[in-house]
Amino acid sequence: MASTTSTENSGLFAHILPQFQRETGIAVRVVAVGTGQAMTIAERGDADVLFVHHRPSEDKFVADGFGVGRRDVMYNDFLIVGPAADPARIQNVADVTAALAKIAAANAIFISRGDDSGTHKLERTLWSTAGVDVSAASGSWYREAGASMGGTLNIASAVDGYTLSDRGTWLSFRNRGSLTVLLEGDQRLRNPYGVILVNPARHPHVKAADGQAFIEWLTSPRGQAAIADFKIDGETLFFPDAQAGGS
């Protein structure tokens, strides 16, 4: 299965996969990369199941015939984290694009994933909604790390920069320095995860039965309960939202 660093690094898979293996005897091997790379891996037929979080890319993946039967699995949300000193004064701003505009106006350092991941894609969408041309600022206050979520947080922590992080990685992240959560709760920061079977008609070697079994389990009451049951410091990381029959 090709999936994202956010699910693997947060510890979700270590929590749910052993349970799936106990119940079905199927072992899942996870390659955790950014959503963009995960999709390339799946498109080339190097994975059986794709488990990512960028809806437009997922729909395109299915429309292009690379995958079949996309299902909602769960969602979590994104946060803007930044230095506690908050030089751009976004602490009491509720609107995420307004906050980003303030960061840009203050020329405050913002660390971007810069790796074509689901998080990066959402971040670029938010910047363009905010009317900020970050490409022009790249290398000055806007810095593209080309790193995983954790790697990006390490950099933000070291230079006291702002960044967009998913809640899961943030909660399990241990090197926070002066970083703290400055903005959360905007509807646009909701982060839905979907699971897709790589199209066996296109790649005949795909283990379709095992892959489908995993998708069925993940979206079943048992799988959904396992996801809801995963907590860090008492906080639920991922909220299950699968519906019977798929979407």
Residues that bind other proteins (CB under 8 A): 5, 9, 11, 14, 29-32, 44-46, 147-151, 153-154, 157, 172-178, 203, 205
DSSP 8-state assignment for residue 93: -
Smaller CB separation from other proteins, 40 or 212: 40
Residues 219, 241 contacting (CB under 8 angstroms): no
In angstroms, give the least distance from the CB of 33 to other proteins: 8
Smaller CB separation from other proteins, 151 or 192: 151
DSSP 8-state assignment for residue 162: B
- CA distances (Å), 39 to each of 68, 178, 193, 196, in order? 13, 34, 14, 10
In angstroms, give the least distance from the CB of 154 to other proteins: 6
Smaller CB separation from other proteins, 154 or 219: 154
Smaller CB separation from other proteins, 154 or 224: 154
Strand ranges inside 62-213, DSSP E: 67-83, 110-112, 142-144, 163-166, 179-183, 190-198
Residues 197, 110 contacting (CB under 8 angstroms): no
In angstroms, give the least distance from the CB of 169 to other proteins: 8
In angstroms, give the least distance from the CB of 177 to other proteins: 5
In angstroms, give the least distance from the CB of 168 to other proteins: 11
The residue to which tokens 């929590």 are assigned: 15
User: What is the C-alpha to C-alpha distance for residues 23 and 25, in angstroms, rounded to an integer?
Assistant: 6
Smaller CB separation from other proteins, 22 or 174: 174
Residues 106, 158 contacting (CB under 8 angstroms): no
